[in-house]
Amino acid sequence: MADTVDTLRPPGLLRLALEGRAPWEFAALLASAPWLKNLPPGDGHPVIVFPGLGVSDFSTVPMRNFLRDRGYDPQPWRQGFNFGPRAGVLEACLEQLKALNYRHGQKVSLIGWSLGGIYARELAKELPDLVRCVITLGSPFSGHPRATNAWRLFEFVSGQSAHDPQLIDEIRQPPPVPTTSIYSRTDGIVAWQCSLNPGLDHTENIELHASHVGMGMNPLTLYAIADRLRQPVGGWQRFHTEGTRRWFFKTSTSQARTTAQAA
């Protein structure tokens, strides 16, 4: 089973070229601003947003501005560029989570883009009692890291190997809190099968059309994030695709690894 998943290949050149859509996704975000502002407000709970590999908090500014407009308290990760889980990085993330939970007196939602999603999931495993939900965007947690077009960059900037079987098995395990994976089959960086949660009662997968680089500022992504964050504590339900949503989103509740094997 694992061997089948681990033989997934990175997205091909065509999908990689489609990453050039990212500026258009930002333009779509600006054009859809009036629509997004009419979404129901949130309850004000704190959210930490983790950036992807090789980028900083600047990349998550549009998302955090959107969340702030919806009434949440979005926080950057404040560790500069994300060059992988180097010494002290995850420890600092844990301390930030504890401090934010203490300051607000309520659980914290974690959102991670690409590699940032791996951090969000691992923090939720370490301190599940402090985490309300986890949302990942194009994060490669269920396949081999080399099924991405970024593994060489990861090894270069982090100084770590992308092939650690024990660590890979640990990362594949979902956290024990409501966990959503937002992914795109046209992702040009991460093989989409690597972003699928298993079909558990507290996990889900939401498919939409987006590039990897532009996913965090795609208006469809922000819509799905807002919907997920509005779920009440203890009353989480999966994202539904009835009505007009079915034109823009697909969901999967089947076992992710079975899906990956059939792909």
> Residues 155-179: pLDDT tens digits?
777 777 777 778 788 889 999 999 9
Tokens of 95: 């301390």
CA distance linking residue 132 with residue 129, whole number of Å:
8
Residue 186 has pLDDT above 60, yes or no: yes
> How far is 146 from 152, CA to CA, in rounded Å?
8
Domain residue limits at 248: 2-262
Burial class of residue 60, CB neighbours in 10 A (0-12, 13-18, 19+):
buried
**Structure-derived torsion over alpha carbons of residues 257, 140, 49, 94, reported in degrees to the nearest 10:** 80
Distance CA 185, CA 103 (A): 39
Q: Are 55 and 213 in contact (CB under 8 A)?
A: no
Across 158-167, b (16+ Cβ under 10 Å) vs e yields beeebeeeee
Q: Residue 113 forms beta bridges with which residues?
A: 137
Give me the number of domains the chain comprises: 1
Amino acid sitting at position 75: Q
Please give the single-letter amino acid code of residue 115. Answer: L
Question: How much is the pLDDT for 112?
Answer: 98
What are φ and ψ of residue 114, in 5° steps?
A: 55, -120
Across the range 30-48, mean pLDDT stands at: 95
The structure tokens listed for 218 are 């795609």
- Which region, left, alpha or beta, applies to residue 84 given φ > 0 means left and ψ of -120 to 50 means alpha? left
Q: Is 29 helix (H, G, I), strand (E, B) or coil?
A: helix
Q: What is the pTM of this model?
A: 0.92
- 58 confidence band (pLDDT: 50, 70, 90): very high
What is the pLDDT at residue 6? Answer: 59
Q: What is the average pLDDT score of the chain?
A: 90
Token couple for 3: 């061997």
Q: Work out the widest C-alpha separation in the chain, in whole angstroms.
A: 48
Instruction: Examine the pLDDT at 2 and tell me if it is beyond 90.
Output: no
pLDDT-above-90 percentage for the chain: 76
- 37: domain CATH number is 3.40.50.1820
Question: How would you classify the pairing of strands 131-137 and 179-183?
Answer: parallel
pLDDT band at 51 (very low <50, low <70, confident <90, very high): very high
User: How far is the C-alpha of 220 from the C-alpha of 214, rounded, in Å?
Assistant: 11
